[in-house]
Amino acid sequence: MASIELRNIRKAFGVVEVIKGVNLEVRKGEFMVFVGPSGCGKSTLLRLISGLEDITSGEMLFDGKVVNALAPSKRGIAMVFQSYALYPHMTVYENMAFGLTLEKGHDKSEIRRRVEKAADMLQIRQYLDRLPKQLSGGQRQRVAIGRAITRDPKVFLFDEPLSNLDAALRVATRIEIAKLHESMDNVTMIYVTHDQVEAMTLADRICVLRDGHIEQVGTPMELYESPNSVFVAGFIGSPKMNFIGGDLAQKLDAHTVGIRGEHITITPGEGMWQGTVIHTENLGADSYVYLEMGTEEPVVVRLDGVNSYKSGEVVHITPMLDNIHRFDTAGKPIR
C-alpha cells in the first residue's frame, strides 16, 4: 500500500482549467472516495493520479516521491474502469493473467496461483474458461477487478465501476469491493462515483469535489453531520437536506436553515412551521411526506413506518433544534 499526496495540482485542456489547485493526502491503506456532480473533475483527478493524464502544474507524490514524470506502469497502480475493458477474444483466465504475462519475472505456475487466488476471492473461479460474452454484467465487472488484484498493486483506482449495473447488482458488487479492501491488508483504494450512497457506505473518507475544487474532505458521518457548505449539505444524504429560507429561516437567526427529513416531526396542533402535503411515499420500514411550504423545493419529512397523510392536508411541523444547520448568505455554516 502507498500514501498519495497532491500538492496544488492543476489540469487544463487548452485554455479550460478543470482541476484548480487541489491539495489532498490519501493515507496508506485508506479507502478514499471522490464524489461530486458530473463535470466536477473527479475522473480527471483519478486519471492524473494514475498517470493517464499529464499534470499541468503541481506535484504528485507516492510515498513521498514525486511521480509527475513516472509512467502509469511504474506507479504500482491498478485501475478498474466503468466499461470493464475486457478482451472479448480471451477467456476469463487469460484476461486476468494478461497483465502478468507482460511483466518479467512471473512463471506460469505463479501466474496461475495469482489468478486462481483472485478468482476465489471474487467467487468467479467456475468462469475461468468462459469468454466475457458468456458472463453477466456483474460477473464481467468482477473479472475486471480480479485482473487488477492479480497485479498486486500498491493502489487500486476505481472509475465509477458500478454505474453499468442494475440496482441489485450494484449493492452486491459494492459489498464485494468492501470485503476486498478488508481482505487485502487494507490496500490503498481511490474510488470515483457520482452516487453518494456508494460514497457513504464504502469510504473511510470522502472528498467532495465541485467545479475542479475540493469542497470538503472527511469521514461519511462528518460530512453528513457537519457539512461545511450548503453544497455539501445538499449533496450528501438521501433524501438530501431540506433548505428553508426567508421569513421561515429568520425565526432561527439564519439566512438559510438546513434540516434533514428524519429531524423533523409532524406535530398535532401548532408547530414552528406549517405546510401542505403534496405527495407521500410509503416504503414499508419508513415513509416520506413531501410538503409545499413556499420553498424552492418541497420539504421532505421522513417518518418511521407507514403514514396516512393525504394530498392537500395541512400539517404543522417542528424541527429538532439540536439538528438544525444554519447557513449565512455565502452558504457557509454559522457555528
Domain residue spans of the chain: 4-234, 241-327
In the predicted structure, residue 61 carries a pLDDT above the cut 70 = yes
Q: Return the CATH fold of 241-327.
A: OB fold (Dihydrolipoamide Acetyltransferase, E2P) (2.40.50)
Q: Pick the residue with more confidence: 268 or 57?
A: 57
122 DSSP assignment: T
Residue 186 has what pLDDT?
67
Per-residue pLDDT at 214: 97
Using one digit for the tens of pLDDT, what is the confidence trace for 183-235? 877 689 999 998 888 999 999 999 999 999 999 999 999 999 999 999 999 99
* Alpha-carbon radius of gyration of the chain: 24
More reliable by pLDDT, 297 or 152: 297
- Is 124 exposed, middle or buried (CB count within 10 Å of its CB: 0-12, 13-18, 19+)? buried
Residue pLDDT, tens place only, 104-131: 778 889 999 999 988 988 889 999 999 9
Higher pLDDT among residues 153 and 63, named by residue: 63
CB atoms within 10 A of CB 330: 8
Residue 298, preceding peptide bond in cis (omega within 30° of 0): no
* Class level of CATH domain 4-234: alpha beta
Q: What is the mean pLDDT of residues 306-329?
A: 92
Q: Count the Cβ atoms, other than its own, within 10 Å of residue 97.
A: 23
Task: Give the chain's mean pLDDT.
Answer: 91
- CA dist 70 and 2 (Å) reads 15
CA 136 to chain centre: 24
Looking at residue 193, what is its pLDDT?
Answer: 93
pLDDT per position as a tens digit, 237-267 = 888 899 988 877 777 777 889 999 999 999 9
What is the full DSSP assignment across 175-241? HHHHHHHHHTTT-EEEEEES-HHHHHHH-SEEEEEETTEEEEEE-HHHHHHS-SSHHHHHHSSSSPP
43-57 pLDDT tens trace: 999 999 999 999 999
Do 96 and 119 contact (CB within 8 A), yes or no? yes
Is the confidence at residue 161, as pLDDT, over 90? no
Residue 38 has pLDDT above 80, yes or no: yes
Q: Considering only 94-108, 278-292, 305-319, which range has the smallest mean pLDDT? A: 94-108
What's residue 59's pLDDT? 97
In angstroms, rounded to a whole number, what is the distance separating the alpha carbons of residues 64 and 82? 30
